[in-house]
């Protein structure tokens, strides 16, 4: 049985809010087992796709004899195959995710991201698909390839409970390495504050999308990072590099808001440009509402 500490990121309220919603693949996926998601491969199904010419070695039972009678040529029928879905959560565990908000009731970005990842992995596992987990900083820290089964889910939850944010991040490098290691088509969910150069972040996302994966970006920022609520002269420290700067937040607020808006727009527009879903998340929002709204959006879009 899993340790209760390892289950801490499974919130009953969140699970209750999404229990009646399925997460389905929007693009074609490739899995090991027959399931409910469209696959780019062909197999046995009730849904006819098209014909192709017969080649020696094809099974006689898939020959279309009516087509032979009409054309005097041998054709075989192809049916659309359905497969299970791999859903890999890419979780940023760099130092910037450890920011502790002024309001003690709010979660850190790392805690919020862990609840989000755990809930999504639980949903995927319960619908007989395969969750996976990659935690990263400048390199891949933990790598759990997607698999089915409760034992794998408990291992994933244990890794989440043990993860400690620290160090710098290099999203471009990590996303390129993930794209090389996981070649089977699936869904990749990036959960990060996307700290760094937007151009490098987007270059990494393009590598995933170019390999036929469906990409979802959950862009997390704390409410303090969005509103800059500080009013007196304050020393700000970069949680990834340790560099510090002293400034007056009241005088810098307008310029800060402009630069933050440009940063968010760059990530959003670049994600849309490579076909990825983008969701900006304020960690002051309830997790159950954020996740439920996104899953309902996917279902409406079909």
Are the beta carbons of 90 and 178 closer than 8 angstroms? yes
Q: What is the pLDDT of residue 25?
A: 53
Q: What is the pLDDT of residue 80?
A: 54
| Spans in the chain with pLDDT lower than 50 | 1, 27-44, 46, 81-82
Q: What is the pLDDT of residue 216?
A: 95
Identify the CATH homologous superfamily for domain 4-27+85-301. von Willebrand factor, type A domain (3.40.50.410)
Q: What is the pLDDT of residue 285?
A: 94
Of how many residues is the chain composed? Answer: 302
Q: What is the pLDDT of residue 37?
A: 43
Instruction: List % helix, strand, coil for the chain (3-state, nearest 5).
Output: 40, 25, 35
Q: What is the pLDDT of residue 24?
A: 64
Q: What is the pLDDT of residues 176-218, one digit of tens each?
A: 999 999 888 889 999 999 998 999 999 999 999 998 899 999 9
Give the containing element (helix H, strand E) for 39: strand 37-53
Any residues with CB less than 8 A from the CB of 252 and at least 6 apart, and which? 228
Q: What is the pLDDT of residue 30?
A: 42
Q: What is the pLDDT of residues 45-57, one digit of tens each?
A: 545 566 778 778 7
Nearest one of 218, 226, 214, 206 to 270, comparing CA atoms = 206
Are the beta carbons of 219 and 279 closer than 8 angstroms? yes
Q: What is the pLDDT of residue 282?
A: 95
Q: Domain boundaries in the chain? A: 4-27+85-301, 37-83
Q: What is the pLDDT of residue 29?
A: 37
Q: What is the pLDDT of residue 152?
A: 92
Strand partners, 75: 53
Any residues with CB less than 8 A from the CB of 109 and at least 6 apart, and which? 96, 97, 98, 99, 193, 220, 221, 222, 283
Nearest one of 143, 144, 142, 195 to 170, comparing CA atoms = 195
Q: What is the pLDDT of residue 34?
A: 40
Q: What is the pLDDT of residue 3?
A: 60
* Per-residue CA distances from 126 to 15, 94, 131, 139, 148 (Å): 11, 29, 10, 30, 9
């Amino acid at each position: 049985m899993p340790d209760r500490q390892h289950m801490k990121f499974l919130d009953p309220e969140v699970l209750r809010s999404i229990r009646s919603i399925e997460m389905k693949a929007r693009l074609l996926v490739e899995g090991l087992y027959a399931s409910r998601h469209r696959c780019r491969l062909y197999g046995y199904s009730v849904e006819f796709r098209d014909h192709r010419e017969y080649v020696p070695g094809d099974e006689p039972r898939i020959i279309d004899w009516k087509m032979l009678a009409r054309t005097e040529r041998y054709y075989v029928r192809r049916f659309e195959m359905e497969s299970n879905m791999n859903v890999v959560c890419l979780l940023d565990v760099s130092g910037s995710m450890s920011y502790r908000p002024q309001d003690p009731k709010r979660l850190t970005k790392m805690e919020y991201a862990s609840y989000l990842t755990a809930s999504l992995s639980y949903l995927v596992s319960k619908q007989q698909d395969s969750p996976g987990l990659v935690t990263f900083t400048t390199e891949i820290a933990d790598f759990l390839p997607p698999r089915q089964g409760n034992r794998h889910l408990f291992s994933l939850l244990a890794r989440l409970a043990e993860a400690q944010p620290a160090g710098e991040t290099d999203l471009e490098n990590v996303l390129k390495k993930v794209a090389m290691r996981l070649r089977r088509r699936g869904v990749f969910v990036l959960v990060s504050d996307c700290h760094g150069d937007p151009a490098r972040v987007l270059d990494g996302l393009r590598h995933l999308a170019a390999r036929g994966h469906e990409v979802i970006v959950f862009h997390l920022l704390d409410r303090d990072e969005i509103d800059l609520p500080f009013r007196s002269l304050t020393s700000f420290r970069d949680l990834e590099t340790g560099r510090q700067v002293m400034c007056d937040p009241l005088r810098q607020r307008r310029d800060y808001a402009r630069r933050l808006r440009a940063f968010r727009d760059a990530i959003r527009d670049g994600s849309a440009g490579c076909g990825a879903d983008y969701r900006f998340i304020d960690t002051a929002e309830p997790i159950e509402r954020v996740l439920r709204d996104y899953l309902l959006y996917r279902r409406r879009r079909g």
